Amino acid sequence: MTQKIKLLKLIFLLPMFIIACSGNVSQNQNIDKILEDNPEIVIEALRKNKGELLKIIEEAIKAKEMAAFLDNPMVPVLEKGRPVRGNIDAEVTIVDYSDFECPFCSKVAKTLDAVMDKYGDKVRIFYKHNPLSFHKNAMPAAIYFEAIAKQSTEKGWKFHDIIFENQGMLNGGKTALKEAASNLGIDMARLEVDIESAEIRERISRDMEEAKRFGFTGTPSFLINGIPLKGAYPKEKFFEIIDTILSM
């Protein structure tokens, strides 16, 4: 039997083998013999169930990738003084590489709220920046976020929430950003100095370089205890990864 047929046979037999482990080994051996003598049965079965086969393969690949990253996680730089949401000593760290003008980032912000609601002190979120070049207001918003957070982490996160709840305001440019900051009751004179700070621009640049190093070319992208997740996945995907981490 060719290697290809053996592979197809293995995929086909996998669920049967699992069932057979409960007791009926002889039946599985009979099935094994039949398929070895008649490999066309495997091919026909797979042809009729392409969707299910692809789903099984995709899930197997994802499981293998997660296992690999559990053993060798990606390691981001977590600088002291960065805005953190949640318990600073949490077991699970989510690093969010985001763009304030990205609609998918806005969508996933609500997902992260659900994650925090579910796991409480077990999870913390670091917000990092990956403003995309075609979003002209993303970089100014990132600068304002960091400048506001220098005065108050809490108000920095409030600014974050305001932007993602109403991204349309970014069309107003820096005037809208300044108004949003003013409504938070911060020191506007200090803000004017901080938004011109080379330190803030260098921080954002480091975030972008780190995102590039990890292969995060789009937003949103995440590291969950070093396990990469690219895209605005539903909360259940985050739950799955976090539950796996907490169960170890």
Extended beta strands in the chain, E state? 84-86, 92-98, 123-129, 221-224, 227-230
pLDDT digits (tens, 9 = 90+) for 164-180: 999 999 999 999 999 99
For residue 73, cis peptide bond before it (omega within 30 degrees of 0)? no
The overall average pLDDT reported for the chain is 84
**Is pLDDT at 18 greater than 50 in this prediction?**
no
Query: How distant, in Å, are the alpha carbons of 46, 67, 148, 246 from that of 61?
Result: 18, 10, 42, 21
Strand pairing report for 92-98 and 123-129: parallel
| Sequence-separated (6 or more) residues with CB below 8 Å from residue 204 | 129, 131, 139, 142, 143, 146
**Is pLDDT at 15 greater than 90 in this prediction?**
no
pLDDT digits (tens, 9 = 90+) for 90-149: 999 999 999 999 999 999 999 999 999 999 999 999 999 999 999 999 999 999 999 999
**pTM score, two decimals?**
0.74
Local confidence band at 23 (pLDDT 50, 70, 90 cut-offs)? very low
Query: How distant, in Å, are the alpha carbons of 141, 145, 195 from that of 199?
Result: 16, 13, 10
Higher pLDDT residue, 213 or 30?
Answer: 213
The pLDDT assigned to 19 comes to 38
| Domains by residue range for the chain, with CATH | 3-71 (no CATH), 84-246 (3.40.30.10)
The pLDDT assigned to 81 comes to 86
